[in-house]
Amino acid sequence: MQLEDYPSYNPESPTNHYDYPLCSRYASEQMKHIFSPNFKFSTWRKLWVILAKAEKQLGLDFITEQQIKELEDNIYNIDFAKAHQYEVQLKHDVMAHVHAYGDVAPNARKIIHLGVTSAYVGDNTDLIQIKEGLLLVKRRLVTLIKTLANFADKYKDLPTLGYTHFQAAQLTTVGKRATLWLKSFMFDLAEVEHRLETLEFRGVKGTTGTAASFKELFGDDFSKVQALDNLVTQMAGFKQKQEVSGQTYDRKQDTFVLQTLADIASSAHKFTNDFRLLQHLKELEEPFGKKQIGSSAMAYKRNPMRCERISALAKFVLSLEINGHLVHSTQWFERTLDDSANKRLSYPQAFLAVDAMLLVLQNIAEGIVVYEKMITRNVMRELPFMATEDIIMDAVKKGMDRQEVHEIIRELSMEQARLVKQEGQDNRLIEAIIADGRLPISAHEIKDLLQPSNYIGFAPQQVSAYLEQVINPMLERNAAFILENKTEFSV
């Protein structure tokens, strides 16, 4: 069928075009701006201004201050329609924007892009976008960690069932479990900071990385070429540059970035797995709006759709990680262009999706609903089994044989487990021990043993120590990165 055969088709209507949900539904305005045409192409122009300034500073006196000022004055004066027309004719995006820039800065036209290849603006802009994206991700991570730390501190003493293999195990506390989520996100924060610290600028390397064009501009003065590379790197706000390159920066850097974003996705997914299970157990619940509908059919439902959105986006980001390896491993010699279309998709989408995940995570963390009575009920359902070890110790202290006591407890425990599982009865092991009468322990003594706080080990102290020794110092170091505004959940 032709498009015209569809009655609803109207080429002028935006509703007839694919609506990219990462932009229209999920990611923040800040992250969308970093990967927007305005940011990208104004950064190209800033890089051309930096290049002209550095070249003039290093002795290319035919570049005038007036030309540089003309370039600076028109950084944001971008005629996108005109640039598109040029690209249609030239089939080259960089040269299209060189011509469009030259149209609004005619006196500087002849020095735009002097001595460099397309990768100078393309690759260096990619790296600037990556850096800005990582900085925004860091802000969201630090803020999330602060919010989860407050939650952990508030509930550090509240006993809850711990699980191994999703089978009831020893008790922990609600706050201690939250520190496990915190630890994963702290690993991620360390990786983000490492990426920011070690991200290498491409700099000024020439067409195949030999800087041959600058040999013509600066003669045989290699020190000038090195100085140009260093100066442009510093002016662009980077601490270090790639020492050698082909035409492009080493695509290995993209694998590092996508791995870091995938790490965050993994932690986010793990959090939502735990949270969805706890919501099923009716112990914790994500925020639920007053007018929110959980199901179109089942009006009573309160589905964990925020967590489900995060886990869906996390799977997407995890699938994008492989792109970095595919691109890096298939680059030929100094470069091939089969990286370009992939890079336009993979790492911007990964950043947008991680941004969206962290926004929803923050919204959940700010509004976690804790059902303390339900948590206690679930604890007390299993606590009699956990208390048997203390009961054994108490009976031995009173003169009984440990093995004899163990056998009595085992018999009674197995029968109670059968009644719980097969007949749906409540756990009455303690009542059964008292009624059995073979153990020298009173109802009052057993009641003292059935205090959940007796079975949480050092969980509260571990939470306090982790927050005081690790989390709080990190938050102090990164106080400027903490976002203060409450995070609203949007469709």
Tell me the pLDDT tens digit for each residue of 453-470. Answer: 999 999 999 999 999 999
Distances in Å between the alpha carbon of 420 and those of 224, 374, 386, 416, 435?
A: 82, 18, 15, 6, 18
**Residues 215 and 281 grouped into a single domain:** yes
The model's pTM:
0.91
- Domain match, 162 and 73 both: no
How large a percentage of the chain has pLDDT more than 70? 93
- Note down the domain range covering 382: 374-454
Q: In this structure, is residue 490 part of a structural domain?
A: no
pLDDT of residue 300: 46
> CA-CA distance, 51 to 45, in Å (whole number)?
10
Average pLDDT, the chain: 91
Domain boundary pick from 77, 104, 131: 104
422 vs 261, more confident: 261
User: How far is it, in rounded angstroms, from Cα 237 to Cα 135?
Assistant: 13
Whether residue 169 sits in one domain with residue 228: yes
Domain count, the chain: 3
Q: Do 44 and 177 lie in a common domain?
A: no
What's 422's domain CATH number? 1.10.40.30
265 and 380 housed in the same domain: no
Q: What band does 299 get if pLDDT is binned at 50, 70 and 90?
A: very low
Round to whole Å and give the CA distance between 343 and 445. Answer: 68
Percentage of the residues of the chain whose pLDDT score is greater than 90: 73
Mean pLDDT of 89-114: 96
Tell me, yes or no, whether 64 and 124 share the same domain. no
- Residue 486: inside a domain: no
Q: Is the pLDDT of residue 425 over 80?
A: yes
Residue 111 lies in a domain: no
Same domain (yes/no): 170, 259: yes
**Whole-number pLDDT of residue 430:** 83
Q: What is the pLDDT of residue 293?
A: 47
Residue 41 belongs to domain with CATH number: 1.10.275.10
Mean pLDDT on 469-476: 98
> Is a pLDDT exceeding 80 seen at residue 146?
yes
Tell whether 361 and 386 lie within a shared domain: no
Residue at 485 is within a domain: no
For the cut 60, the answer to whether the pLDDT of residue 136 exceeds it is yes
The answer to whether residues 188 and 313 belong to one domain is yes
Last residue of a domain, one of 311, 337, 370: 370
**pLDDT at 238 exceeding the cut of 90:** yes
pLDDT digits (tens, 9 = 90+) for 301-346: 578 889 999 999 999 999 999 999 999 999 999 999 888 899 999 9
Whether residue 432 has pLDDT greater than 50: yes
Let me know if residue 204 belongs to a domain. yes
- Residue 278 identity: L
Confidence of residue 393 (pLDDT cuts 50, 70, 90): confident
User: Given this model, what pLDDT does residue 296 score?
Assistant: 45
Residue 334 domain flag: yes
> How many Å apart are CA 344 and CA 118, to the nearest integer?
15
Per-residue model confidence as pLDDT tens digits over 23-48: 889 999 999 999 999 999 999 999 99
Known catalytic residue at 295: yes
Q: Kindly name the residue from 295, 319, 329, 453 that is annotated as catalytic.
A: 295
Instruction: Using the predicted structure, report yes or no on whether residue 100 has a pLDDT greater than 50.
Output: yes
Task: Tell whether 37 is covered by a domain.
Answer: yes
Token pair for 92: 């080259």
State the pLDDT confidence band at 216, using cuts at 50, 70 and 90: confident
78, 104, 130: which is the final residue of a domain? 104
Residue 307 lies in a domain: yes
99 and 127 in a single domain? The answer is no
Does the annotation count 165 as an active-site position?
Answer: yes
What CATH number has the domain bearing residue 245?
1.20.200.10
Q: Which residue among the candidates 165, 223, 296, 444 is catalytic per the annotation?
A: 165
The yes-or-no verdict on residue 56 having pLDDT over 70 is yes
Residue 297, pLDDT above cutoff 60: no
**271 and 140 share one domain:** yes
